[in-house]
Structure 1
Amino acid sequence: MMSDSGSGVDPSPIQNVSAQYTKIQRQYQQILDRWTPHVLYRWLSTAGLLVVFLLRIVLSQGWYIVCYAHAIYLLNLLLAFLQPKFDPSLNDDLMADEIEEGGEVTSPLPSQRDDEFRPFVRRLPEWQFWLSSTRATIIALLCTTSEVFDVPVYWPILVVYFFTLFALTMRRQIQHMIKYKYVPFDIGRKARYGGAK
């Protein structure tokens, strides 16, 4: 039996599946590319998904483990978003080793006013933070449709433990920011080169 293609051979089912997967992957990437410049709308949509997820948890009075795991994952994403890509505390250890070996010391962050300006580079970029948190929220929402994930727990303990963990990790992060003098946000007015201030 001949097909309409010029080769005379029917494509195998594996090739059909592969072609369909590639087509879906391309369409998914096009959707993500369209969403890239719309930062506010992206985060509002994620916040809406998060509200739907939390309403599902509160109204059904279940899936507290899923909610706790989701909150811990979002906390880890937030911490990666707030941290610099090149950790200055690790550079302190490297500088101490170089001083012992008699090597030259270079600092990744400006230490004086005359040093070159280096912008804050995040360990987790905003786009990846949004994409990961949105995916995690969708997965957590899907987990609430299965009774397998509805493990009975005493939820007040999870809430107290999460807020304790949040307070301790954020305190440590703020102390790190103060010690190494960096701010992970663009605060203030941005001036253009050559323009009036």
Structure 2
Amino acid sequence: MEGIGGGGASVASPLPQWGHDAWRMYQYYLDKSTPHSTYRWIGTLVVAAVYCLRVYYAQGFYIVSYGLGIYLLNLLIGFLSPLVDPELEGSDGPVLPTKGSDEFKPFIRRLPEFKFWYSMTKAFCIAFLMTFFSVFDVPVFWPILLCYWVVLFVLTMRRQIGHMIKYKYIPFNIGKQKYTGKKASASSSRVRGD
């Protein structure tokens, strides 16, 4: 009965502790990367380029690429969609203004930028790992998959853009004013004697 009550030394397996430490370190670096969106997206573009090169040189894994494309399209729809859809209108939270007299409510994404980036990067990494297993290399005629994906992309984006035009929202910060800070006025500089 030495292991009960803390009187004796209990021997714990080092594997769960190592896994916990590795997860904490991973989470630490993930949290530190949050404010550096430009570098995060550059890293994702590098991962995507490595994946594309792997598929090109392997001359296969088109089903994996098609599945990845469908998943990325689904993420893009979530990224471009508002948190509360104005078509459903039975919400208690903030909604987008539909008329000029409506109160302004800021655009809140259904899928935030960080989660969009994280899910996209994980998807490319998982798809890259799948290219090392021949069970995922299903022989298909890839031009048909590509044409089907392009048609699906065009129809989905046309619907999404129509929704954006109908409810007058822009999911990007391009052209919006940003607060630059307090500027010193000429009268305050004269008072200080500058």
Name the CA distance, whole Å, in 2 between partners of 1:18 and 1:142: 24
Paired with 1:27 and 1:179, the residues of 2 have a C-alpha distance of 45
CA distance in 2, matches of 1:57, 1:193: 45
CA distance in 2, matches of 1:22, 1:117: 45
What corresponds to 2:139 in structure 1?
152
Name 2:192's counterpart in structure 1: none
Distance 1:194 1:40 in 2: 22
1:54 partner letter: C
Structure-2 residue corresponding to 1:58: 56
Q: Using CA pairs under 8 Å that are at least 6 residues apart, name the structure with larger relative contact order, 1 or 2.
A: 1
After superposition, the Cα gap between the structure-2 partners of 1:120 and 1:189, relative to the gap in structure 1 and judged at 3 Å, is closer
Structure with the higher helix share, 1 or 2: 1
Output the aligned Cα RMSD. Answer: 2.4
Q: How does 1:26-105 map to 2 (within 5 A)?
A: 26-91=24-89, 94=90
How has the CA–CA distance of structure 1 residues 62 and 191 changed in structure 2, closer, same or farther, with 3 Å as cutoff?
Answer: closer
Give distance in 2, aligned partners of 1:125 and 1:117: 20
1:164 corresponds, among 151, 158, 165, to 151
Q: What's the TM-score, normalizing by structure 1?
A: 0.83
- 2:147 alignment partner AA: V
| Whole-angstrom distance in 2 between the partners of 1:106 and 1:24 | 38
Instruction: Encode CA deviations 1:40-80: one digit per residue, 9 max, x unaligned.
Output: 11001101110111111111110000011011111110110
SS in 2 for 1:21: helix
What is the letter of the counterpart of residue 146 of structure 1? F
- TM-score relative to the length of structure 2: 0.84
Contact 2:84 2:94 (C-alpha < 8 Å) held by counterparts: no
Work out whether 1:122 is the aligned partner of 2:109: yes
Find 1:19's aligned residue among 6, 17, 35: 17
Q: Is the 8 A contact 2:96 2:106 kept in 1?
A: no
Q: Using the alignment, how far apart are the partners of 1:172 and 1:89 within structure 2?
A: 13
Q: Which amino acid in 1 is paired with 2:138?
A: V
Contact 2:79 2:109 in 1 (8 A): yes
Does structure 1 residue 9 correspond to structure 2 residue 9? yes
CA distance in 2, matches of 1:194, 1:177: 31
Comparing 133-142 and 106-115, the one that deviates more: 106-115
Distance 1:176 1:84 in 2: 10
Moved more, 21-30 or 106-115: 106-115
Does residue 183 in structure 1 map to residue 170 in structure 2? Answer: yes
Asked whether the 8 Å contact 2:55–2:61 carries over to 1, the reply is: yes
Q: 1:74 to 1:194 in 2, by over 3 A?
A: closer
After TM superposition, give the deviation of residue 195 of structure 1 in Å: 5.3
> Number of matched residues?
179
CA distance change for structure 1 residues 151 and 192 in 2, over 3 Å: closer, same or farther? Answer: same
